Structure 1
Amino acid sequence: MGLIDSLLARFRAPAPPIDDALWRHALERVPLARALDEPRRLYLRRLAGDFLHTKRFHAMGGAELDDVWRLAIAMQASLPALPHGPATFRGWTNILVYPGEFNVRRSHYDARSGVVTDSEDTLIGEAWDRGPMVLSLADVALDLEAPWDGFNVVVHEMAHKLDMLAGAANGVPPLPRSMNRREWIQTMQAAFDALVKAVERGRSTLIDPYAAEAPEEFFAVTSEMHFSTPRTLRDAAPKVAALLDAFYGPPPIPAG
């Protein structure tokens, strides 16, 4: 059996159950998962098992990954999949995990001038269309330490992966039949345009100004907020919050 055949056979086999002790250990590390109601927490465990079964983790640049870290990442990646199931994970396989921020070199070709410009970006996360998800382990750890501050790099990159299931990322993921695509586009575009204007005018915004970079970033940033600071999202953009409630289900509720 060749490598491709063995990988296909592995992915088609049922995901092995997550060890009870490992699950308890990881659950203590992931407050967003602990804050789910019991039925969704049980389903999250199943989805996280599917995620681990079909993804390959690669420790880059000396990053130290153990089973608890892998499961903690899988649990957060599975949060956006709760209403949609394991089909959310299709189309890609690899997760690259760096110890901290990582550099990405990019080339931009200007068709009008014929000039190619190289640049280097420093990132904490990235998702490639049909390619890997790339994460900074230091920032994953920060999100676990401060779970309700509006930031979650794993959720952000999974939102991009969801978006890419419909083609090039544009802020419009595949929607369930119960949701109206035109309403989604009009609501998200109006909120994005309002944020862009506020940022251009130098105003303080409840939504991270990075969301004004592009519609796909607006979707990813507000997805982070849905899970980690839903009240702020409702205050900032109530119609967007309602859409994400319908798309992702109700957000986790912190104890107290």
Structure 2
Amino acid sequence: MTFRSALIVGAGHGLSAALARAFAKEGMAVALAARAPDKLARLAQDTGARTFECDATQRYDVDAVFAKLDEAGATPDVVVYNASYRTRGPLIDLDPVEVEKAIAVSAFGAFLVAQAAVRRMLPNRRGAVFFTGASAGVKGYAQSAPFAMGKFALRGLAQSMARELSPQGIHVAHVVVDGGIRSARRQEAPDKPDSLLDPDAIAQSYLHLLHQPRNAWSWELELRPWVENF
């Protein structure tokens, strides 16, 4: 199965940038949606990607991005939801407004994006929707309830979608990123090589999912450094 257009929602300079580069090398037209798309100008230039301002928790914003892609003849057949929001602290000290935002960004936004994507994929009975999860989606850490709530909901969404939509030709997968991701601001200690996930290596795993034959689809993939406890 070949793919022509990819949309990454919650785009930034880490994993999303690696995914954009990987998809572009595969010959796909890439679109990047983020709250602050101006920060993606260099990435867009390097990958030929189109950028869109989008708050994924707002249905109007999500619908507008998909409508613009439809008008341009670039309706995505690959959609990656990479947005999340985290707030931490003791349970009794958490701000309910921040908790609501964490759940909305990590889970409700994923639902809105997935719904818009699937509506366009179903008529052709083909497409792929991938969600970026975290270890918090399978185990809730102390003082991190809001992130766990959002990521648990995201995993549930992905599993439900996979069961419903796989028989209709749409590949749904949830990627558990269990560990820190290397970045310019987050480097490995000299005595701990390969202790952080390389975003380009993660992107290659997304490509592997994308190219899986439909007689051997994965609905979930766990990625972690070799030294990570789990």
TM (norm. structure 2) is 0.30
Q: Answer with 1 or 2: which has the greater Rg.
A: 1
Structure with the higher helix share, 1 or 2: 1
